[in-house]
Amino acid sequence: MDVTLLKVTAVLYLLASASFIVYIFLVRDFVSSLSPIILFTGFAVHTAALGIHFLQTGYPGVAQFREALSFYAWLLVAGYLLIQLKYRLAILGAIIAPLAFLMTLAAFAFGTGGGELPPGLKTYWLPVHVTLAFLGNAVFALAFGVSLMYLLQENYLKRKKMTSVMKRFPSLEALDKLNYVLLVWGFPLMTLGILTGSMWAGIHWGNYWSWEPRQISSGIAWLFYGVILHGRITAGLRGKKAALLTMVGFAVVIGYFLLGDSIFPSRHGGRFE
């Protein structure tokens, strides 16, 4: 991966974060338009960094943990930019941009390593499985941000303290609806990520499910989100409970993504060898 471009990306994500925060606290309308532009510029540079990595190595930058961090941040920003086109949620950018900055910063802080791709990863299953799995996780990260906004808005309304900042938040109904839309998209993407990972494992290792910690945690998260989605569709689950459950589900996902392989080593760890 081109580390120089990744550093430029981190700087632009940092500037975007600062711009979004300025919008929240100073409430300047022109900043709400400028912030997504800065973030999109960082996204474009990030895309170039990922593209150069692919051209130089011949494989997508997802095999190592630092590469996975970068790719996750890229998908997260892409998802937010798509939401911004339709919903104009500059407030959500104040959550997503700092997350993207921290993940990108960590990506190049881990070093520039690379090297030969292990034989088990020289397959089309790598980009297919990882892209689907990370897309699902990125959508759930966006749902986490929307849920956090919902809880903040609900708390201020309950206390009847509507500051100028809170007036910029969408209505509770709009946030609840967006949370549902994100769950509807994220759940099938996670499902496809698990299925393609199982198929890859069956082809490469001879067994589709080996009860490794990452597979178990993915299965738990999948069941958890499935219950939430089922509750929203059939039992009228919504509002504060739905927001809290969505955040708990994402805590499981991101917790294992960041810490799982260091605590419970598996074939998914390191370079998936």
Q: Quote the pLDDT of residue 272.
A: 42
103 vs 114, more confident: 103
| Burial letters 53-92, b for 16+ CB under 10 A, else e | beeebebbbbbbbbbbbbbbbbbbbbbbeebbeebebbbb
Average pLDDT over residues 131-155: 91
pLDDT in tens, 199-223: 877 777 667 666 677 777 788 888 9
Show Cβ contacts of residue 158 under 8 Å, excluding neighbours closer than 6 positions: none
Distance CA 116, CA 9 (A): 25
> Average pLDDT, whole number, for the chain?
82
Q: Quote the pLDDT of residue 259.
A: 59
Q: How many degrees, rounded to 5, is the angle at CA 249 between CA 246 and CA 252?
A: 150
Q: Most confidently modeled of 19-33, 95-109, 191-205?
A: 95-109
Q: Quote the pLDDT of residue 211.
A: 67
pLDDT bracket for residue 162 (50, 70, 90):
low
pLDDT bracket for residue 146 (50, 70, 90):
very high
pLDDT bracket for residue 130 (50, 70, 90):
confident
pLDDT bracket for residue 271 (50, 70, 90):
very low
Q: Quote the pLDDT of residue 164.
A: 67
pLDDT bracket for residue 118 (50, 70, 90):
low
Nearest Cα to Cα of residue 87 among 189, 181, 190, 186 = 181
Query: pTM for the whole thing?
Result: 0.86
- How many Å separate Cα 51 from the centre of its chain? 20
Place of tokens 């020289």: 122
pLDDT in tens, 19-64: 888 888 776 666 677 888 999 999 999 999 988 888 887 777 777 7
186 and 143 in contact (C-beta within 8 Å)? yes
